[in-house]
């Protein structure tokens, strides 16, 4: 039976869970996730797990943070004075904003905390620093 390998385009159904069992994402009510193994389109641990799977195989894998979204980095958290925000913007905790960095690149940040005079922005991926568990079912190899 054919096994998925680098360069193959694959389709998988998956359910991603945190250590406490909370589901953070699933393809079950959607089309399967399609990606090419070795292209870097998905997190490294997920790609490694699918590589070598046979068609219609199912497995559950644990991916440590360093092979998922990396560590939670304190240097990605900044506190910004409220007066630096546009007057028509009313930031809310949990909201995602796009900001322009000093090098003119844009970055997506999450509003982590709102204080009287400042807003704390977190540029880490929401799953950074977390070990993840995935249930994966390989649906197609092309």
Query: What pLDDT does 1 receive?
Result: 73
Architecture of domain 74-122: Beta Barrel (2.40)
For 2-52, how does the pLDDT look when each residue is reduced to its tens digit (9 = 90+)? Answer: 899 999 999 999 999 999 999 999 999 999 999 999 999 999 999 999 999
Determine the 3-state secondary structure of 83 from DSSP. Answer: helix
Instruction: Kindly report the pTM of this predicted structure.
Output: 0.83
Sheet hosting strand 77-81, strand order edge to edge: 77-81, 118-122, 106-114, 96-100
Q: Tokens for 4?
A: 């998925």
**Residue 139: per-residue pLDDT:** 97
Q: Are the C-beta atoms of residues 12 and 139 closer than 8 Å to each other?
A: yes
Q: CATH: 3.40.50.300, 3.10.50.40, 3.10.129.10, 3.40.50.970. Which one for 9-70+127-141?
A: 3.10.50.40
Q: What are the tokens at 100?
A: 């322009």
pLDDT at 59: 98
**pLDDT of the residue at 131:** 97
* pLDDT at residue 2, rounded to an integer: 86
Contact 108, 98 (CB under 8 A): yes
Q: Where in the chain is the domain with CATH 2.40.10.330?
A: 74-122
Three-state DSSP class for residue 49: helix
């Amino acid at each position: 039976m054919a096994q998925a390998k680098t360069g193959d385009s694959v389709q998988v159904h998956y359910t991603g869970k945190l250590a406490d069992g909370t589901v953070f994402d699933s393809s079950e009510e959607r089309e399967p996730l399609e990606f090419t193994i070795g292209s870097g389109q998905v997190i490294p641990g997920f790609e490694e797990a699918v590589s070598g799977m046979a068609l219609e195989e199912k497995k559950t894998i644990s991916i440590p943070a360093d092979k998922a979204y990396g560590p939670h980095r304190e240097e990605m958290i900044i506190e910004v004075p409220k007066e630096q925000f546009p007057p028509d913007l009313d930031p809310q905790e949990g909201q995602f904003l796009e900001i322009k960095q000093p090098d003119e690149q844009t970055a997506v940040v999450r509003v982590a905390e709102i204080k009287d005079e400042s807003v704390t922005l977190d540029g880490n991926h929401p799953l950074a620093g977390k070990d993840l568990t995935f249930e994966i079912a390989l649906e197609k190899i092309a």
